[in-house]
Amino acid sequence: MENKILVLKEHNHFYYRGCCQEYLKEVYDWKDDLVTPKSFHFRNNENAVCFKVSAEVKENQINFLQFETSYYIGLQYIDEWDIPVLVEPKMNNNSHQLNFIKILTEALKEPENFNHLDGLMEVDFNSEWIEVPSKHRVELTPFLIIQFLMAVRQIVRKGLKKSYYQKTENLRSRVKGKILVGQQLKQNIFKHRLTHTVCSFQEFGFDTEENQFLKYVLQVIYSYAGNLEPILKAQVLELIHYNFAAFQQVKDQKFISYDKVESNPFYKVYNNAFGLGNQILKLISHSYGSINGDNKKHPPHWIDMSKLFELYVFKKLRERFTADGEVEYHVKKHYQELDFIINEKKKMG
């Protein structure tokens, strides 16, 4: 039997009047449709409601049932009804799908927007993943991939971070740093290679652990790109090829995750890339083993579409007001927090 799923639109109200319990069971396969589920909130903020249900039940008849959604799209499991709910962009219909990945890409062409990504999305990797029928599009993975690739692009444009890192080499006719006695005996002395010495020393350059992590995630995304829609695949591959050119001096290394934090404020975009890269590795490694026919499993998640639109508008405002400080984003003044403040500088003469 086809998986049942409740599909709603973002920022909308849906009403059912006079629906009998048997109809809802047949359509949605609900185990107990008379229990009103708790609301879902974005990042546990009681004022940020992602999905809410109101119901009036009398004598096995639902007199009134209301589904309410806000400016969040995403996927969650309704435990009380034993059914997932998928909230799609409000502009989606049979003939048109909102390309919010394109909106994200455009927004992240403005470097300052990397300072404002916190609060854009929430992903729950600890809960059970939800199987979604193939006819419904869940674009969490592409959404994370584009954020990561644009963050790495920003890093590449500034220049990869150089720092000291430990290196081990079997040097010929010279010694550098510390001699590794155990390896020297195995690799050279016992094999009568008396002109070589295994040394450990510090090097200053690009081949650091943080750059190795970024390169590995780029390689994972490259392998995954074949699963994307053709237009998005072309865009992703273009960004990957652009970014890869900067990692020629960085060796290949596999990672499960990367937990370190970049403390230098000049390289703070690295932290965006670390967080996104960790999420991408979890998603992609899980997705290869979570496909049932044409259906795929996804973690519960929410994306704040109002925040995404703000980032897009901020980018467009920065195109018009280009001087430093001309456009401010979410600044608190006089007990208010405005989305944007424009400090237009008047031209003399």
DSSP at 345: P
Q: Under 8 Å CB-to-CB from 224, ≥6 apart: which residues?
A: 141, 145, 284
Which residue type sits at 204? Answer: F
User: 168 and 156: one domain?
Assistant: no
Cα–Cα distance measured from residue 128 to residue 130, given in angstroms and rounded to the nearest whole number: 6
Cα–Cα distance measured from residue 195 to residue 197, given in angstroms and rounded to the nearest whole number: 7
Contacts 24+ apart (CB under 8 A), 237-240: 239/146, 239/149, 239/150, 239/152, 239/153, 240/149
User: 113 and 216: one domain?
Assistant: yes
Q: Which residues pair with 8 in a beta bridge?
A: 87
Q: For every one of its 349 residues, what pLDDT tens digit does the chain have, with 9 covering 90 and above?
A: 356 888 999 998 877 665 555 655 666 555 555 577 889 999 999 999 999 988 777 766 667 778 899 999 999 999 888 889 999 999 887 778 889 999 999 999 999 999 999 999 999 999 999 999 888 889 999 999 999 999 999 999 999 999 999 989 999 999 999 999 999 999 999 999 999 999 999 999 999 999 999 999 999 999 999 989 899 999 999 999 999 999 999 999 999 999 999 999 999 999 999 999 999 999 998 875 555 556 789 999 999 999 999 999 999 999 999 888 888 888 777 777 778 888 876 554 4
* SS3 state of residue 195: coil
Which residue type sits at 267? Answer: Y
User: 182 and 56: one domain?
Assistant: no
Residue 121: domain span: 99-162+206-322
User: 214 and 78: one domain?
Assistant: no
Q: Which residues pair with 19 in a beta bridge?
A: 62
User: 78 and 55: one domain?
Assistant: yes
Is the CB of residue 58 less than 8 Å from the CB of residue 28?
no
Q: Tell me the pTM.
A: 0.85
User: 169 and 309: one domain?
Assistant: no
Tell me if 348 is assigned to some domain.
no
Domain total of the chain:
3
User: 118 and 79: one domain?
Assistant: no
Tell me if 294 is assigned to some domain.
yes
Tell how many helices (H) and how many strands (E) occur in the chain: 8, 18
